[in-house]
Amino acid sequence: MTNYLLIVKRAVLFFKLRINESPSTENELPLCVGKLLDKRHYRYESSSRLLMTKSGGSCRLLNYTAEKIIHCFDALRHQHDQAGTPFRLIFMGDSIVRQQYLNLVRLIPDYDKLLQPSNAELLFQGNMEVTSASLGLRLSFRWQPYVDDEVLNKVRQWTAEFTYDNTTRPSSLLLLSMAVWHMLDVERRPKPDHRLYNKHLRELAPSLAQLSQVTRVIWLNQYPPLEYYSNVSTTYITPEKINIYNKAVRRILLPDAGSSNSSRVEIWDSGNPLVEEYVRSCVIHRRYEKKKTSPGLLTLKYYSGAYRNCMDHVHVGYSALSQITQLLYNDICSPISQM
């Protein structure tokens, strides 16, 4: 038990946001709840712990430690209890979504946490799942880098399952995003064409809208990349292209004002200010290491350094990602804390 407590304490210290303790007046502010993932409703104040609401007031974000996360998921599990089934979250998309998924599950304490497959963190493409019987959790990641028939069929299947037997939700939350692979020239795939992406997204939109009536559906906005690399992939993935794809997602998935579209799909773009600051710091300070000389460049150690030291032009560095993960925990858990 002593060793376990030491592990938990180290994990909490490692992942804890590097922010100063709040003054007492700040602690008296209400918790930030509702539409935290939409930057049209909130903006950051002088610190990453305070948000300014659309009406001009202030609210505070909680720093979700292992203890708070346990209380949160325990409350959520009881709130969504369906015949004793675990509280389920599904992440679906490319390696950007995978990175967000891994950062969320790493904050969950390891009482009986089981990762399948056991070497999933070393496999950069593929499905994985984390379960915890004691916490009543089932957290899944589905590798799906393209908006295609496979995604459409899976979303339709989840919706049909609930329609047929409305005692069981397909999941309590679905977080997904697919865009950057549509910008790449990949063998045996159609040439990059955002018009084809728009077509597939329009086919997916009605099914996502229907699913959003029974499950919370969040589409992760694509973050801006670093631009000072000269390799091939950066000529395909540019801020201008990402902006075009993000606009298409917002135009197609979100209902227009006064529209009869009942979609409840959310677009998560509140992490953008944090990523933009991370990108700016990378450009200014060039905090990257020289490439490793060992033959195994595709090792976990190399990619850990890449995410931390601005060596990856698409994936967000851990300094920003840890705060983005905290924002997601605040969005999921803080409403429960106020009940």
Task: Specify the amino acid at residue 22.
Answer: S
Residue 12 lies in a domain: no
Determine contact, residues 68/24, Cβ cutoff 8 Å.
no
Neighbours of 150 (CB within 10 A): 11
Host domain of residue 213: 24-337
User: So what's the pLDDT on residue 305?
Assistant: 52
Residue 15 lies in a domain: no
Tens digits of residue pLDDT in 4-39 = 444 334 333 333 333 333 444 556 788 888 888 988
Task: Specify the amino acid at residue 158.
Answer: W
Question: What DSSP line would sit under 31-94, residue for residue?
Answer: BP-SSTT-TTTEEE-SSTTEEEETTS-EEE-----HHHHHHHHHHHHHHT-STTPPEEEEEEES
Location of structure tokens 């459409």: 152
Residue 208 lies in a domain: yes
Q: What are phi and psi of 262, to 5 degrees?
A: -95, 20
User: So what's the pLDDT on residue 229?
Assistant: 56
- Which two tokens mark 259? 């529209």
d(CA 102, CA 97): 9
Distances (CA, A) of 232 to 261, 297, 304, 311: 40, 18, 22, 15
Identify the CA nearest to 332 among candidates 143, 62, 112, 95: 62
Task: Specify the amino acid at residue 284.
Answer: I
Give me the tens of pLDDT residue by residue for the chain, a chain 339 residues long: 444 444 334 333 333 333 333 444 556 788 888 888 988 887 776 666 678 777 777 888 999 999 999 999 888 887 766 556 778 899 999 999 999 999 999 999 888 999 898 877 767 788 999 999 988 899 999 999 999 999 999 999 988 876 555 555 667 899 999 999 888 876 556 677 788 899 999 999 999 999 999 899 999 999 988 776 545 445 678 888 999 999 999 999 987 655 556 789 999 999 888 888 888 877 776 544 444 445 554 444 444 454 456 777 788 888 889 999 999 999 999 888 766
Residue 330 lies in a domain: yes
- Residue 294: CATH number of its domain: 3.40.50.1110
Strand, coil or helix: 160: helix
Residue 146 lies in a domain: yes
Residue 3 lies in a domain: no
Determine contact, residues 79/130, Cβ cutoff 8 Å.
no
d(CA 156, CA 199): 17
d(CA 115, CA 139): 10
d(CA 93, CA 162): 22
User: So what's the pLDDT on residue 97?
Assistant: 94
Single pTM value for the model: 0.80
Task: Specify the amino acid at residue 326.
Answer: Q
User: So what's the pLDDT on residue 13?
Assistant: 38
Phi-psi region of 83 (alpha: psi -120 to 50; beta: other; left: phi over 0): left
Identify the CA nearest to 135 among candidates 166, 111, 104: 111
Angle, CA 139 vertex, CA 114 and CA 38 arms, to 5°? 145
- Per the structure, the count of domains in the chain is 1
Residue 8 lies in a domain: no
